Amino acid sequence: MVLGLAFLSAGPILATLGISLTSWDLLRAPELVGLDNYARLVDDKRFLMALRNTTFYTAVSVPVGLALSLGLALALNQAIRGISWIRTMYFLPLVTSAIAVGLVWAWIYSPTSGLLNQLLGALGVPAQKWITDPFWAMPSIIAMSIWQGLPANTIIFLAGLQAIPGDYYDAASVDGAGRGGRFRHVTLPLLTPSLFFTGILSLIGSFQVFDQVFVLSRPGRPTDATITMVYFIYENGFRNFKMGYASAASWVLFMIVAVLMFAYFSSQRRWVHYQ
Amino acid sequence: MSPGRPSAPANRPHGRSRSRVVAGRVAAYATLIAGGLLMMIPFLWMLLTSLKTRAEVFGAPPLSLPSGPHWENYERMWNAFGDVTFGTFFLNSLKIASLNTIGELFACSLAAFAFAVIPFRGRRFLFGILMATLIIPFQVVLVPNFVLWRTLPNPFSESGNFIGTQEPLWLGAFLGGAFGIFLLRQFFLAIPTELADAARVDGANPWQVYRYVYLPLARPALATLAIFIFMWSWNDLLIPLIYLRDLDQYTTTVGLAFFQGQFVGKWPEMMAGAMVSLVPMITLFVVAQKYFVRGIALTGLKG
């Protein structure tokens, strides 16, 4: 029974590893090729770009997204009338599909009469091509993702803020702490469990980016400037039917996430304070 | 957590004069509402564009009002593909999301009951493995899953397997999922064991304890889980994209992606499609916001 479940969870991942050692187009029988797929990945410019873009996406969207949602949670943590309606405005992107909101973001970023270019034009800034511009493409995708991911992290931070006992602030005030002092010495340390938690979710999520890239690159496919790891897996496995090659990329993704999570969980002891 | 209750010191007037408190409050409202409107701009623009003519879209200033509600955009979008209307996509999504919800509720509640209530050997170890699978991106196992569905025989489809059918999109839900099991187990653990003991003394078997003690008490947690499963399924793009082949099988997300290829530059029609696909989730959110908020606050569940 125990072995059965272990096999059920580990099975598919080991299957990915097994398939990654083959060359397989689903039509003919898989052919064992050893580590060839991995050797080819290292030389594949598109894969290296996918790796680079995903890393860039993670490095920017995780810290910026967390900082913004922490700020928003602090701002929304107020006892004023109508606060629940105000929160609804901020939380709405939570329930929307990336494809539906991606359509409107594609329109915002449209080089011809898109909202962004029109607003910037009013300020005298020249029009940009955003998604097709190699420099602006990734930041544009990140901006949309942060907008969409903001509510979930904010809700977790709000829950964390509301769990902090008011006495702690009173004690800090008695000891002469000002606003900044109370934030640094009470709020922030007691919020580290929430920060740890949102960090995990954001990190894992950022290695899964697919929908945003898919929808913003339509019609057509992502350029080398916007392709991500999961899109690379999709493209090779389910567009070109190179199952072995896609599996090798999947296994690389798995190893990256596993190592990152191990490092992240190991760091927990040093900076997360539980009450 | 209760969203209406802020931590105590947020607005305590520490010796401030009354007028300054009022001014501060007005500033807080103004900032919060301005920020909220900024967050809402993509939705407002989606709605405005969906009601404009194409000439207005390219001619008038971006946030201007349409010259009248041009509902014909919605009609053109709805009937864009002949026999297969947008309604077909809508019903497909509804069916798949409902089946996922039913399947997950059933399987996860049973598994969570076993993990929380029934002592058995290796329970901790098994639960640990289950939690470990939570942090593995499901995209890592896309290929073996696809191969599995392609290998399983299906007498009802032309290809003889499950590729091009909707079953791969929901059948797995009846085996449960790690998130749902985790959420419900945490909730079940908070239910006093005395209740189960009392039922057992009265002669209830484990099934009856599950059915008549735990399930009724876990209703809020079940509602939370149901809402999230429904939302994930409704919004999912990658899995339907991989398994569905024919237009009449498409979900709204794949349908919208297909629209994008068809309606290049026809923004009003595309925005109309996006609006229609968002209506169910936005309605659900406004009605059941507390379940969303509680679910995320408890477990960090997210799409």
- Which pLDDT value is given to residue A275? 66
List domains and CATH numbers for chain B: 17-70 (no CATH), 81-299 (1.10.3720.10)
**Chain B environment of A16 (Cβ under 8 Å):** 140-141, 143-144
Q: Under 8 Å CB-to-CB from B284, ≥6 apart: which residues?
A: A95, B227, B230, B231
* Residue matched to tokens 């082949």: B245
Instruction: Kindly list the residues from chain A whose CB atom is less than 8 angstroms away from the CB atom of residue B233.
Output: none
What is the model's pLDDT at position B64? 79
Which of A1, A107, A120 should we substitute to test contact with B (largest number of B Cβ atoms within 10 Å)? A107
Residue matched to tokens 């996860």: B108
| pLDDT band at residue A3 under the 50/70/90 scheme | low
Structure tokens at A253: 């993704």
Cβ–Cβ gap A77/B7 under 8 Å: yes
Of B41, B135, B143, nearest to A261 by CB-CB distance is B135
CB contact under 8 A, B297 and A159: yes
Task: Give tens-digit pLDDT for A13-58.
Answer: 889 999 999 999 988 889 999 999 999 999 999 999 999 999 999 9
User: Average model confidence (pLDDT) for chain A?
Assistant: 90
pLDDT at B7: 46
* Nearest-by-Cβ selection for A90 from B36, B121, B144: B36
In 10 A of CB B65, how many CB atoms? 10
Neighbours of B91 (CB within 10 A): 13
Specify whether the CB–CB gap between A50 and A231 falls below 8 A: yes
Is the predicted pLDDT of residue A255 greater than 50, yes or no?
A: yes
Contact B218, B191 (CB under 8 A): yes
Query: Cβ–Cβ of A247/B143 closer than 8 Å?
Result: yes
Q: What is the DSSP letter of B213?
A: I
Region A208-219: mean pLDDT is 90
Q: How many CB pairs under 8 A join A and B?
A: 270
> Dihedral of CA B12/B15/B18/B22: which sign?
negative
Amino acid at A209: V
Is B142 within 8 Å of A243 when comparing Cβ atoms? no
CB A241 within 8 A of CB A26: yes
- Tell me the chain A residues in contact with residue B143 when contact means C-beta distances shorter than 8 Å: 15-16, 19, 233, 237, 243, 246-247, 250
Chain B residues with CB under 8 Å of A15 CB are: 141, 143-144, 147
CA distance A262 to chain B (A): 11
| Residue B235 near residue B96 (C-beta atoms within 8 A) | no
Which one-letter DSSP state was computed for residue A220? S
> For residue A64, how many other CB atoms are within 10 A of its CB?
13
The vertex-A97 CA angle with A92 and A102, nearest 5°, equals 100
Among candidates A1, A26, A101 on the partner chain, residue whose Cβ is nearest the Cβ of B122 = A1
Distance CA(B303)–CA(A6), nearest Å, equals 26
Q: Would you state the pLDDT for residue B57?
A: 83
- B25 contacts on A by Cβ (under 8 Å): 80
Please report the pLDDT score of residue B10 as a whole number.
Answer: 46
Contacts of A37 (CB under 8 A, 6+ apart): A20, A21, A23, A244, A245, A247, A248
Q: In the structure encoding, which two tokens stand for residue A257, read together?
A: 């996430």
Nearest to B142 by CA among A240, A16, A51: A16
- Set of chain A residues whose Cβ sits within 8 Å of the Cβ of B122: 1-2
Q: Which chain B residues touch A94 with a CB distance below 8 Å?
A: 285, 292, 303
**Distances B186 to B101, B179, B192, B264 between C-alpha atoms, Å:** 19, 11, 12, 48
8 Å CB contact of B261 and A219: yes
Contact residues, chain B, for A230 at CB < 8 Å? 137, 139, 238
What gap in Å lies between CA B231 and CA B237, rounded to an integer? Answer: 12
Q: What DSSP assignment string belongs to A244-258? A: HHHHHHHHHHHHHHH
Q: Tell me which amino acid residue B191 is.
A: I
Can you tell me which residue has the tokens 């407002």?
A: B44
Contact B257, A98 (CB under 8 A): no
For position A112, what pLDDT does the model report?
Answer: 79
Of A83-87, A148-152, A216-220, where does mean pLDDT reach its minimum?
A216-220
- Determine the pLDDT at residue B137: 84
> How far is residue A17's CA from residue A35's CA, in Å, rounded to a whole number?
11
State whether B261 and A218 contact (CB < 8 Å). Answer: yes
pLDDT at B55: 84
CB-CB: which of A16, A164, A210 is closest to B238? A210
Strands A31-32 and A22-23: antiparallel
Q: How far is CA A97 from CA B41, B166, B170, in A?
A: 16, 19, 18
Instruction: Report the pLDDT value the prediction gives residue A229, as an integer from 0 to 100.
Output: 96
Residue A243 pLDDT: 95
pLDDT, mean of residues A238-249: 95
- Cβ-defined contact of A84 to B238 (cutoff 8 Å): no
Task: For residue A164, give the nearest of B7, B125, B133 by CB distance.
Answer: B7
* B41, B58, B129: residue with CB nearest A5: B129
Cα atoms in the 13 Å half-sphere on the side-chain side of A111: 8
CA distance A107 to B269: 12
The predicted structure's pLDDT at residue A163: 84
Burial B115-126 (b: 16+ CB within 10 A, else e): bbbeeeeeeeeb
Report the C-alpha gap between A18 and B163 in whole angstroms.
Answer: 22
Pick the CATH number of A12-271 from 1.10.3720.10, 1.10.420.10, 3.30.870.10, 3.30.1280.10: 1.10.3720.10
**Residue B90 has what pLDDT?**
93
Residues of B in Cβ contact (< 8 Å) with A179: none
- Which 8-state DSSP code applies to residue A4? H
Q: At what angle do helices A137-162 and A188-206 cross, to 10 degrees?
A: 140
Tokens 């050692």 label which residue?
A: A21
Q: What residue ranges of chain B have pLDDT lower than 70? A: 1-16, 298-303
Q: Which of A37, A95, A146, A155 to mutate to test the interface with B (most CBs of B within 10 A)?
A: A95
Contact across the interface for A96 and B281, Cβ inside 8 Å: yes
In B51-177, alpha helices (H): 54-59, 72-78, 86-117, 123-134, 142-151
pLDDT for position A5 = 54
Nearest Cα residue in chain A from B148: A12
| Cross-chain residue pair A173–B14, CB shorter than 8 Å | yes
Six-digit token pair at A44?
């594949």
Give the confidence band of A4 by pLDDT, cuts at 50, 70, 90. low
pLDDT at position B6: 45
Q: Which amino acid is at A223?
A: T
> Residue A87: pLDDT above 50?
yes
Nearest CA in chain B to A207: B137
Q: Flag if B135 and A182 touch (Cβ within 8 Å).
A: no
d(CA B33, nearest CA chain A) in Å: 7
